[in-house]
Amino acid sequence: MDSETYLGDAKAVTDLLDDFDEEETTSVDDGSLPEDRFLDRELSWLAFNQRVLELAEDPRLPVLERANFLAIFASNLDEFFMVRVAGLKRRIATGLAVPTVTGRTPTEVLADINRTAYELQRRHAEAFRSGVKPALYDANIRIVEWDELDDSQRDHLRQTFAQQIFPVLMPLAVDPAHPFPYISGLSLNLSVRVRNPKTGRQEFARIKVPQMLPRFLPLGADSGSGVLEFIALEDLISNQLEDLFPGMEIVEHHVFRVTRNEDVEIEEDETENLIQALEKELLRRRFGPPIRLEISDDMDPVTLDLLVRELDITEQEVYTLPSPLDLGGLFSIAKIDRPALHYPNHVPTTSLPIMPTEPNSKPDIFRSIARQDILLHHPYESFATSVQAFLEQAAADPHVLAIKQTLYRTSGDSPIVEALIDAAESGKQVLALVEIKARFDEQNNISWARKLEKAGVHVVYGLVGLKTHCKLALVVRNEKGRLRHYSHIGTGNYNPKTSRIYEDLGLLTADDTVGKDLTRLFNELSGYAIEKKFKRLLVAPLHLRKGLLKRIAIETKNAQEGKPSGIQIKVNSIVDEAIIDALYRASAAGVPIDIWVRGICAVKPGQAGLSENIRVRSILGRYLEHSRVFSFVNDGDKQMYIGSADMMHRNLDRRVEALVRLVDPDQIKEIDHLFELAMAPTTSSWWLDETGIWTRHHLDDEGTVLDDMQNRVMYQVSRRRRSGAFR
């Protein structure tokens, strides 16, 4: 597994966690529903990260995958603090915080977050110390400490330190002439107390552990024994402090780490240059206030008091943990090329309808799409031979007149961006809607926007006050004097790297109705058009919420009239109160409801009279479940949508989102089968109860491991290619 891309190049862990917005209520309850009907969203998110941790704790998983899940847990929690906890603290400090939908005060929620997060971090450290680290050792991958090294190893590391590390270090003294230094967010630091042997005076210094050097330093090449050994960089530096403070006595040294508020707030003004405003805000991000202080559990009280005072942080925000801190550094260990210690390799297949019909012929994606709508399922089906090839062929095709596309997150070496540049340089009309406010990818997207503009691409930044989150591409092609639309609507970003790790769906279609819908939507995003209605799309913020509530209401009415009914929803998060209340009413009317959620879930399933017909499941594994699906039985005429929207306030009210309705019966059957697998008692998954507790169901009564759904889907997709049939 490519550990950097499980969460989207680590810094784009946001796509897993991009679930943070201001607390608000959209419920229109008439008082008939109980007040305690929602689960707390913050604690629900922490429960999600606990599920990630449970994978790291599972000795049945390959050990390098367990190390990867430990790193994912750490990165997830970092961002949770930088965004959600930071926002909560900001609202408390400014007096803008209001009680949550669970009726608890923001200060109570913050206290619960700190308590629960601290417990999870202690558990996380223990999972490494007593679980993953010994298992790595048994697999001849050893993370050792200085005291465990022999003389020759220490000599080798001293030379490495002198040549490659010492010149980079910058010890900073703290005294009347040197104020306490700025501590950058998420950096590892050494606090050092030294004594002048002549005066007996003690001084304090801080050393930043360089982030551009390997977090875990290899001790040397494998000598043929098959053993790889690493030492934490801060451990090595700690044992060479005499070189950094010659003539001084080292009294104490400890490791600490600060998390800061790194969320970006942009107050948009129609007259303001959005890129310039965002660049200024990105500079301010670096200097956000501290919100968490992690310290090694051997830190002395004098040093701790100094840090707490200088950082202006509360005791509640101090996390005392065993070394090593920052287990996000395990991403590098998880990349070690030992196939037996990873998940078995899965090779994505080319979608069957895209395969050439003639032997030795090249794929013609336009011809394939013209024959039928094509439903793609990544990473089981290749992104490179489908979506990427679609855009690359469009860029090279002389019959293509225009390409229009949204870009929310993409990789640093994106062939998608290169295809758009090639198309513009060949004279095609190219429109790229770049969402430069995609959290923690802002600078990346600004760079790509400027590169696209230089190539002649028409770059726009969407609508004031709204993020453009929909995943859309439209190609206009001249076919014998007639213009034809070829469209792609997806659930995931146009990112070739994350497409290998994120589970997503996408629809390629030449349907003229969809093409006209997208044409109108792009005109709305790039110009001044105000579109009132679409045919096969549900679009936020104007129509999506209303459309989904209408479909839920139809299922409720059908159940009351004894007609076939049912709702199936697959999302990353579901917290919107109006949607949840509608689901509660549908459940009370007898509608069977299945919710398949990866992250936050505010729904309380299984409550008599309210939600006894609602089941909630979560599946985590080698791939990041990322697709969004909404399916309604509709008295036997099933209505099914896929798209970019989660059930959150911001997705429904403050973003441009798009769902497309599937019409091919075989594609609807395919999605139905995925829900059958996800909800089956024979599938390994987590089940949510009405108290907010997630219970892992991964063993049967005999202790046999249940089905891994992602493995099963990969097998079925591979077999489909061989046989030409779905099952």
The runs of H, that is alpha helices, within 3-105 are 3-6, 14-17, 41-57, 63-80, 86-94
CA angle 118, 9, 231 (to 5 degrees): 60
Q: How far is CA 362 from the centre of its chain?
A: 35
Give, as one character, the DSSP assignment of residue 381.
B
Placement of tokens 């943070």 in the chain: 20
H/E stretch holding 579 reads helix 577-588
Q: How far is CA 419 from the centre of its chain?
A: 26
Q: What is the distance between the alpha carbons of residues 103 and 105, in angstroms, rounded to a whole number?
A: 7
Phi and psi at residue 73, to the nearest 5°: -55, -45
Whether 494 and 410 have beta carbons less than 8 Å apart is answered as: yes
From residue 588, alpha-carbon distances to 254, 334, 485 in Å are 57, 47, 43
**How many CB atoms are closer than 10 A to CB 159?**
10
Whether 624 and 503 have beta carbons less than 8 Å apart is answered as: yes
Q: Which two tokens stand for residue 518?
A: 């997208």
Q: Which two tokens stand for residue 484?
A: 């034809």
Cα dihedral 324, 329, 330, 336 sign? negative
Whether 256 and 293 have beta carbons less than 8 Å apart is answered as: yes
Q: Which two tokens stand for residue 396?
A: 């090279």
Task: Report helix, strand or coil for 639.
Answer: strand
With 0-12 CB in 10 A as exposed, 13-18 as middle and 19+ as buried, what is 624? buried
Catalytic residue among 254, 378, 469, 626: 469
What is the radius of gyration, based on Cα positions, of the chain? 27
Query: Is 342 designated active site?
Result: no
Q: What is the distance between the alpha carbons of residues 337 and 35, in angstroms, rounded to a whole number?
A: 53
Measured torsion, CA atoms of residues 421, 425, 430, 434, in degrees rounded to the nearest 10: 30
> Looking at beta carbons, which pairs linking 706-711 to residues 24 or more positions away fall under 8 Å?
706/682, 707/677, 707/680, 707/682, 707/683, 708/621, 708/684, 709/619, 709/621, 709/677, 709/678, 709/683, 709/684, 709/685, 710/503, 710/619, 710/621, 710/622, 710/623
User: Which residues have C-beta within 8 Å of that of residue 449, sequence separation ≥ 6?
Assistant: 275, 432, 434, 436, 459, 461
From residue 252, alpha-carbon distances to 165, 479, 589 in Å are 21, 76, 66
* Cross-strand partners of 208: 189
Phi and psi at residue 58, to the nearest 5°: -80, 110
Determine how β-strand 374-378 pairs with β-strand 502-509: antiparallel
Annotated catalytic sites, by residue?
469
